[in-house]
Amino acid sequence: MRAETTANIEKIQNSLTLLGQRMDIETAPFRLEEFNARVEDPDLWNDPEKAQKLMRDRQVLVDKIKQYEAIKRGVEDNAELIELGEMEGDAEVVAEAEAALAALVEDAAAKELEALLDGEADSNDTFLEINSGAGGTESCDWASMLARMYTRWAEKQGYDVELQSFSAGDEAGIKSAVYKISGHNAYGWLKSESGVHRLVRISPFDSAAKRHTSFTSVKVYPVVDDNIEIEVNPSDIRIDTYRSSGAGGQHVNTTDSAVRITHHPTGIVVTSSEKSQHQNRDIAMKALKSRLYQIELDKRSAKVNEVHENAGDAGWGNQIRSYVLQPYQMVKDLRTSFETSDTQGVLDGNLDGLMASVLAMDVSGKSRAEANAGD
C-alpha cells in the first residue's frame, strides 16, 4: 500500500476518533432508542413546538450516526479493496479505491469540523443583519451583493431564508436588511461573518471607471428558542410603528404596519416590516431578545471572539475580510489570512473555506493577532 494511501487512511481514522468523541458514539444507539420511545408517546403532539424540537433533535442524532457509520464503512471497504487489488494485480481497482479514499478524507475533515460546532447556541437558527456603510451608493450596492452571497450560501446548505426587514438604497442596492436563516447549525456557521466587509472594484456607477472602496457591516446573532429565557423590562423599550418603504414588489407596504423597537440600555434598534403589525411586533421582539442573548454569550465566552472589535463603524480599520476585484482577484480573511482568487465563487456563496478557517482558529483558541503572527 502506498505511503500516501496509508496517510489518507490515518487521517480518516483520526477524524472518526474525534467524531466519535464529540457525539459519544458508544451511547448514541441508546439515546436514539430513548428518542424513538418518546416519539411513540400519543401525547407528544399536544405541545407542537416541543414535539417539533424533539423530532429535530432525533433527526440530528440519526444523521450523525449515519455519517459516522458511512465514513467508517467507506474507509474499511476501500482499504480492503486496495489490498485485494494489489494481491490480484488489478491496478484499476486499486486506483478507484485510492481515489475514493482521497475524497473520503475531505468529507471526513468537513464532518470533523462541523462536529466542533458545539457552542451553546451553535445549533440555533440565526438572524443575519446587513447594513451599508461608508461609500454611499457604492456601499448600498455592495450590501445587496452580500445579501445575495449569503442567500446563495444558505440555499446551498438547504437552509430556509426569510426576509424580516428591508430598507432600499436611495439610488441602488439596500441600506439595510435583516434575514432569518433557519437550519441546523445556521448560527454556528454564520457567526464567523460578523464584522465589516470591504470591497475594492471598478465602480459601475462611475463614468470615469475609477476604482472605489466600499464597506458594509454584517451582524449575526442566534434566534432565541423557548428554552432560553431573556427578560426585557417594558420600561426599557420604545415601540414605534411606521410605514415601511422598499424597492417594490414584496417590499411594498401600504399601511403603518412596520415596527421598530428601541432598547434604551443598550441602544439596540430592531425592525420588522414584512408582516402584519402584530406579526412584526412579535418578530422584532424575538430579534431584540436574540441580540441581548448574543451580548450575554459574548460576555460569557472565555475565548477571544472579537465581536466587540468587529462592532465598530463600517469603514476603514474595522474590516474582517477584503474582497478585491480590481486590480487583481482576491478574497482574504484578515483574521486567519485564508485567501482565494475565486472571487466569483465566493460571491456566488462558496463560503465554506472562509468560514472553516475562522472556526478552526476559534477552536484552537487563537486570537487574530496570534493567527497573523503565525503567518
Would you say the C-alpha torsion 232, 236, 240, 244 has a positive or negative sign?
Answer: negative
Look at residue 144 in the predicted model and tell me its pLDDT: 96
Residues in the chain, pLDDT under 50: 246-254, 302-312, 367-369, 371-372, 374-375
Would you say the C-alpha torsion 260, 263, 269, 270 has a positive or negative sign?
Answer: negative
Look at residue 121 in the predicted model and tell me its pLDDT: 80
Look at residue 115 in the predicted model and tell me its pLDDT: 76
Contact (Cβ atoms closer than 8 angstroms) between residue 294 and residue 120: no
Look at residue 190 in the predicted model and tell me its pLDDT: 94
β-bridge partners, 197: 216, 321
- The three three-digit cell numbers of residue 353, written as one number: 473555506
Tell me which DSSP letter residue 239 carries. Answer: E
- What burial class does residue 62 get, using C-beta atoms within 10 Å of its C-beta: 0-12 exposed, 13-18 middle, 19+ buried? middle
Strand blocks (E) in 77-231: 126-132, 160-168, 174-182, 195-202, 211-222
Tell me which DSSP letter residue 223 carries. Answer: P
- Cell match 437558527: residue? 125
Measured in whole angstroms, how far is the alpha carbon of residue 54 from the centre of its chain?
23
Q: What is the CA radius of gyration of the chain?
A: 24
User: For helices 48-88 and 91-115, what crossing angle results, to 10°?
Assistant: 150
Which residues are CB-contacts of 264 (< 8 A; sequence separation ≥ 6)?
236, 237, 238
- pLDDT tens, residue by residue, 136-192: 889 999 999 999 999 999 999 999 999 988 888 888 899 999 999 999 889 999 998
Q: Tell me if residue 164 falls in helix, strand or coil.
A: strand
